[in-house]
Structure 1
Amino acid sequence: MSFGVPKHMSLESGEGIFLVGDTYSVLLSSEETSGKLGMVEVLVPAEAGPPPHTHLNEDECFILMEGNLQVTAGHDEYEVSQGGVVYIPRGTSHKYRNLSDTEPAKMIALFTPAGMERMFREIGKPGIRGQLAPPVDFADVEAMGNVAQKYGFTFD
């Protein structure tokens, strides 16, 4: 049985992906963790964030590295600042929004089990870690809707 191998990611490494105005950088993939954990750095532009959605297959945890986010999970709402952590169990509707009107927010998103990072790779465009993505492309939004069932999430 394989449990994966140790892995180190530097600040310069990570596969950057531009999708829906955000930059997703895959730090740990399901292939590297034997499906146990996916880790993605997310750069969220000012006043941006996804609509309410629910992951049906994985739990998600956000660790805010820079900025301030408003996170809604179920019926709870949190204002999260640098260093804050939010855990969202699978099946819980959630959304987040960058509270700054000028600066991006940066967070680490953990998915367990892994697999959601495959969706970013499948429908996103090659990007650069730490670089802001182009503005929202509504073709990306449509593409997300088209793969929602495959990756086990719904828009609420």
Structure 2
Amino acid sequence: ISIKCQDGDVKEARSSEAGLTIAVTDQNDHRPTFHLSKYKGHIYENSEQAQVRWDPANGAPRAHDKDFGRNARLTYTLRDFTPNAPVIGDSEFFKLDGGHLFVNMVLDAEERTSFKFLLEATDDGEPRLSSNTTLEIFVDDVNDNTPFFEQSLYMFE
């Protein structure tokens, strides 16, 4: 915007002009939002450091923030689904790295077939705003056990 000021002298009026820049700053007024309230993923058992495969229909969980700049910069954190979770919560079995979810240890489908925890997205604004979505990860069984007879002797008639 250009601003002009002029003095009140009728005979020799003097004036000057200056430019004025107005910077509109974003207010952190939007929470991050996830497209879905629940995302389902799969991991093969016995896979060490493998990346979770997401349901192709919905894709990987990703939050969006309608703000811009710093207020839209997001950080993701894994949280246990329930406050009274066991000593090792479900989120301890997985880790986030570069926006991708990886298994943190070898899983066995014969011991446990699924895990449920929260993914929290927090923006970098002031105040920091966050939201979460549920992650349900299924451990897919592979043929890793040799068949065996449960008894040493069988009788037939």
Structure-1-length-normalised TM-score: 0.25
Q: Which has the higher strand share?
A: 1
Larger radius of gyration: 2
- The structure carrying a bigger helix percent of its residues is 1
